[in-house]
Structure 1
Amino acid sequence: MTEAETSNGSCNGRLRGRIALITGASRGIGAAVAKAFAREGAQLVLVSRTVGGLEEIDDEVQALGAPPATLVPLDLQSFEAIDQLGASLFERFGKLDVLIANAGILGALSPTGHIDPKVWQRVIDINLTANYRLIRSLEPLLRQSEAGRAVFVTSGAAQGVRPYWGPYAVSKAGLEALVRNWAGEVTKTNLKINMVDPGGTRTAMRALAYPTEDPALLKTPEDIAEHFVPLAMADCSRHGEIISLK
């Protein structure tokens, strides 16, 4: 874990003083949420595989007047590293106010019987199992907050039939079951747990899935990011919901 020096940036927004961890923070929806949270005064912990991508987003965050983010270069298939993340954050902050579990991969679009087992496992690891490990590692920190909040990014692929999308659809259906169960377990605590289904959004993953689609017809990650702010606020009362932005 690398950490930039503390700054006295002027942040007076709706998330002022709240510590928010965002996975998949170096691009797309994750990067847009990071900037939206920075404008609202959050202290950010940004997680992604690449140091360079994290540093670029941190530069943008600081340009918005927010303090430097805590940067965590982490491959979400490194489950032991996720386990250690909670302890590291406890030493640094003593708590976590917000978890935004955004990271995900598409995997192969292929007939189910043709999918390489390694591709299947990678999609399940990152889209599903890593989120279980994040819950396991970070729930104690969220409980230390006066108003712990968690938001997971899901997809319409989790619902109904989506031929050729086997690994991705299964991983998102599993994620929704995981999050609903966790939400049910913490109803008598200070935690509020929700999901966001962004629908069609102008991201690299969407371009990979629909290469002939005109991206100008899609919502931007910045359009999506604003919907995460109310779910991260201390006065959020929504719980166990899927917020669809289609």
Structure 2
Amino acid sequence: MSEKPLAGRVAVVTGASRGIGYATALALAEAGAHVVATARTQGGLEELDDAIKAVGGQATLAPFPIDDFDAIDRLGGALYQRFGKLDALVANAGQLGPLTPLGHVEPKDWDKIVAVNLTANWRLIRSLDPLLRASDAGRAVFLTSGVVHKDRAYWGPYAVTKAGVEALARSYAAETRTNTPVKVTLVNPGPLRTKMRASAMPSEDPATLRTPAELAPKIVGLCLPSFTETGKLYDFPTDALQSFRAPE
């Protein structure tokens, strides 16, 4: 039997208690990675831990809300002390936020979605970049959304923050493109059968949608040492890898 492709490697997955994060964390563990799973929901993380153990994998649970920025800094320190490196980051945690006209968005709701969807991803880079560089094949994957490129009314806060994530990933890819082992990829999952999707589209039949478990192996592929592209967007609906670099 061949060795699992991520054996001996460490992967952080945020928002791992359900949906895309849960499915990806489980798939990474099945591929041999030691998964460090973060989420605000302790119970969901414990269910994930049970599922990972059932497939013979290993996990470390880190329950905290993704906008607890001090906790993100502590995570980086703890990973350095325990592992001295990080081989993969899957920055999945996010929230839908208010679906309302921009002029009606409450300032506290705006601040919250910016903190969760955008600032937290910058704080993850700030804390974990040295560990990704310490790996021989550091991989960073950020979840985005097709709504960034659509003129969709009432989705402003979500679209704005995901556009920010895309700019953040582009910048990080440019900074790590040469003389580092880090490869950066954006993922557009498209419509999936998740709780967030159900909240956004309550009249939609979830049975018509693909599942996070179908996407998860694709994300695992982006975390492998053998995946050497950087500065790309993987579009799950079309199964296509696209460049997101602007023309020179």
The TM tier, using the shorter chain, reads: over 0.9
Distance 1:100 1:119 in 2: 25
The superposition leaves residues 43-102 of structure 1 with CA deviations (integer Å, 9 ceiling, x where unpaired) of 1100001221111100000000112x1110111111121122111110111110000000
Contact 1:11 1:41 in 2 (8 A): no
The DSSP-based 3-state class of the residue aligned with 1:226 is helix
Distance 1:50 1:26 in 2: 6
Please identify, of 39-48 and 153-162, the stretch whose mean Cα deviation from structure 2 is larger.
Answer: 153-162
* Structure 1 residue aligned with 2:161: 171
The superposition leaves residues 80-133 of structure 1 with CA deviations (integer Å, 9 ceiling, x where unpaired) of 211221111101111100000000000110011001111111111000000000
* Structure 2 residue aligned with 1:54: 45
Matched, 1:36 2:27: yes
Matched, 1:23 2:34: no
Distance 2:159 2:126 in 1: 23
What TM-score do the two structures reach when normalised by structure 2? 0.93
Give the aligned CA root-mean-square deviation in angstroms: 1.2
Q: 1:220 aligns with which of 203, 211, 224?
A: 211
Please identify, of 35-44 and 136-145, the stretch whose mean Cα deviation from structure 2 is larger.
Answer: 35-44
Question: Structure 1 segments of 4 or more deviating over 2 A?
Answer: none
Matched, 1:238 2:229: yes
Letter in 2 for 1:215: P
What TM-score do the two structures reach when normalised by structure 1? 0.94
Distance 1:22 1:229 in 2: 11
* Structure 1 residue aligned with 2:240: none
Equivalent residue runs for 1:29-178 within 5 Å:
29-67=20-58, 69-178=59-168
**Structure 2 unaligned regions, length at least 5:** 238-248
The DSSP-based 3-state class of the residue aligned with 1:223 is helix
Contact 1:192 1:238 in 2 (8 A): yes
The superposition leaves residues 155-202 of structure 1 with CA deviations (integer Å, 9 ceiling, x where unpaired) of 001113121001100000011001101100111111000010000000
**Structure 1 unaligned regions, length at least 5:** 1-9
The DSSP-based 3-state class of the residue aligned with 2:174 is helix
Distance 2:92 2:116 in 1: 10
Aligned residues: 236
Letter in 1 for 2:41: T
Provide closer, same or farther for how the CA distance between residues 11 and 169 of structure 1 changes in structure 2, counting only shifts above 3 A: farther
The percent of aligned pairs where both chains have the same amino acid is 53
Contact 1:39 1:65 in 2 (8 A): yes
Provide closer, same or farther for how the CA distance between residues 11 and 77 of structure 1 changes in structure 2, counting only shifts above 3 A: farther
Distance 1:25 1:11 in 2: 27
Letter in 1 for 2:135: S
Contact 1:38 1:44 in 2 (8 A): yes
Matched, 1:202 2:229: no
Distance 1:233 1:175 in 2: 22
The DSSP-based 3-state class of the residue aligned with 1:99 is strand
CA shift, 1:243, in A, is: 0.5
Distance 1:92 1:58 in 2: 19
Letter in 1 for 2:128: L
